[in-house]
């Protein structure tokens, strides 16, 4: 049995070698051993390539403001393993995390003895389910990498949401929009409402066909509901309602669409008041999404890890800083569509510097630079040293640090330390 988080962190690290394991047998064994806690929670299951986290954040704020006790599961974590799992805005406590791992340990030990032990991610999902059962009135679960094969797909949700689809994790999910959409659409459950934000025609058809087979009511963006932009605000228009002057605090045009998916989902939930939800959207904060972490000098972090994310970053930085010199410090995992992303980013920034960070799948600066359109791309082998050397409050330029969501939390923590 475990008594400290340090012991659990070692236990989790030792399981990293298990990798991604297909199938739900391990999840169902653990669930059954603990009296099927997934059947005792009201869950919203959110999958998609982009916008999952933002959509969850909009829903969470609205639900909290209306008196719901909201648990949430996010992936990846912004810092520690506990910060995959939240109640309201607070991560699960060390005491509760240790308690749930100890309750799981006997069945995990038995599974390990049969050489079919659960992965680190499967254990995290189990802790989130147990915690949600005990403390939440509504639970928001973000799928990990995919959907159909994701460990979170053992949930029996009251609502499913599929956000935007893009090419990402192609080594695991497939290298076409159709293949990736099929994975994401795998979260659709029998007779369970689904809100879809996909826009590509082929992707929409896959979602429609899957929903029809499952007899799941489908609320498709651009058909059942949409938005009409009016300056910095928008009108939310559905087949039965219209709400004007919807404003969101998060920067970027794409956040209007993300919030509309949340609004559509909230409108389908019992006991939720949409007019109040709209007011809540103005208070939403979300780490790592065009987040200003220093004002003097201006430093922004952003998890732009695929083409759509890069396009959103470009749109936002051009709109907010049209006349300032813009520098990008960039790092990404090797399995990202770098050949498409890097030339796009280079068009929007005066200077792009490639770097790396400590992760098994992180690209080297040289590999990133091989996709550059520059004849002499810049490289920084040590991102911390680069930021330290650039730290000059007198500079008028904007430094954007973007790329992998596995890296961005450590960047934020480092900048907070040097700015103290």
Torsion angle in degrees (nearest 10) through CA of 266, 268, 269, 271? 90
Give me 58's structure tokens: 């909009």
Give me 377's structure tokens: 């791309």
pLDDT on residue 19: 65
Nearest to 226 by CA among 208, 209, 239: 239
Q: Where are the domains of the chain?
A: 5-283, 291-418
Residue 249's SS3 state is coil
Tens digits of pLDDT across the chain (420 residues): 899 999 999 999 888 767 666 789 999 999 999 999 999 999 999 998 888 888 999 999 999 999 999 999 998 776 789 999 999 999 999 999 999 999 999 999 999 999 899 999 999 999 999 999 999 999 999 998 778 889 999 999 999 999 988 755 444 454 677 888 988 999 999 999 999 999 888 889 999 999 999 999 999 999 999 999 887 889 999 988 899 989 888 777 788 899 999 999 999 999 999 999 999 999 888 777 788 888 888 999 988 877 888 888 898 889 888 888 999 999 998 888 899 899 999 999 999 999 999 888 889 999 999 999 998 899 999 999 999 888 777 778 899 999 888 898 889 889 988 876
Give me 57's structure tokens: 């954040």
Judge if 5-283 and 291-418 fold alike in CATH terms.
no
Give me 2's structure tokens: 């475990």
For residue 39, whether the previous peptide bond is cis, meaning omega lies within 30 degrees of 0, is no
Intra-chain end-to-end CA distance of the chain, in Å = 39
- CA–CA distance, 364 with 411 (Å, rounded to integer): 17
- Rounded to 5°, the CA angle 262-181-46 comes to 30
pLDDT on residue 174: 46
Residue 95's SS3 state is helix
What is the CATH number assigned to the segment(s) 5-283? 3.40.1190.10
Give me 143's structure tokens: 């799928």
Residue 270's SS3 state is coil
Left if phi > 0, otherwise alpha if psi is -120 to 50, otherwise beta: which for 195?
Answer: beta
Distances 328 to 124, 132, 365, 400 between C-alpha atoms, Å: 33, 39, 13, 5
DSSP state, 164?
A: B
Residue with tokens 């949430």: 72
Sort 2 into a burial class: Cβ within 10 Å, 0-12 / 13-18 / 19+: middle
Nearest to 132 by CA among 21, 31, 277: 31
pLDDT on residue 171: 42
Nearest to 124 by CA among 148, 150, 163, 156: 150
* CATH class of the region 291-418: alpha beta
Is 195 in contact with 228 (CB distance < 8 Å)? no
pLDDT on residue 172: 45
């Amino acid at each position: 049995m475990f008594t400290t988080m340090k012991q659990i962190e070692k236990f989790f690290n030792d399981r990293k070698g298990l990798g991604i394991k297909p199938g739900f047998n391990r999840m169902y064994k653990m669930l059954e051993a603990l009296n099927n806690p997934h059947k005792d929670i009201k869950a919203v299951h959110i999958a998609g390539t982009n916008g999952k986290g933002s959509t969850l954040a909009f829903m969470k704020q609205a639900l909290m403001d209306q008196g719901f006790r909201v648990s949430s599961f996010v992936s990846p974590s912004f810092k520690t393993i506990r910060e995959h799992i939240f109640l309201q805005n607070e991560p699960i406590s060390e005491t509760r995390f240790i308690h749930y791992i100890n309750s799981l340990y006997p069945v995990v030990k038995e599974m390990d003895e049969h050489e079919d032990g659960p992965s680190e991610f499967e254990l995290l999902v189990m802790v989130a389910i147990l915690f949600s059962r005990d403390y939440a009135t509504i639970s928001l679960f973000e799928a990990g990498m995919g959907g159909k094969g994701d460990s979170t797909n053992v949930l029996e949700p009251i609502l499913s949401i599929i956000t935007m689809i893009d090419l990402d994790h192609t080594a695991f999910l497939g290298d076409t929009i159709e293949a990736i959409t099929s994975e994401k659409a795998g979260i659709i459950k029998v007779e369970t409402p689904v809100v879809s934000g996909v826009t590509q025609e082929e992707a929409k058809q896959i979602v429609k066909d899957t929903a029809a087979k499952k007899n799941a009511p489908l609320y498709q963006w651009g058909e059942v509901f949409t938005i009409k932009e009016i300056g910095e605000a928008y009108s939310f228009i559905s087949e039965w309602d219209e709400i004007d002057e919807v404003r969101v605090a998060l920067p970027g045009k794409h956040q209007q669409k993300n919030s509309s998916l949340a609004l559509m989902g909230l409108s389908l939930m019992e006991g939720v008041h949409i007019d109040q939800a709209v007011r809540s959207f103005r208070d939403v904060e979300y780490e790592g999404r065009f987040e200003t972490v220093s004002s003097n000098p201006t430093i922004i972090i952003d998890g732009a890890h695929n083409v759509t994310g890069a396009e959103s970053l470009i749109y936002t930085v051009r709109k907010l800083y049209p006349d300032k010199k813009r520098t990008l410090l960039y790092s990404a995992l090797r399995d990202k569509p770098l050949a498409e992303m890097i030339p796009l980013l280079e068009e929007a920034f005066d200077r792009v510097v490639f770097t790396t960070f400590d992760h098994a799948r992180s690209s080297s600066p040289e590999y990133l630079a091989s996709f550059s359109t520059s004849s002499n791309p810049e490289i920084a082998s040590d991102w911390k040293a680069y930021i330290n050397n650039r730290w000059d409050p007198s500079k008028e330029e904007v430094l954007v640090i973007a790329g992998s969501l596995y890296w961005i939390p450590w960047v934020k923590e480092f900048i907070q330390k040097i700015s103290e």
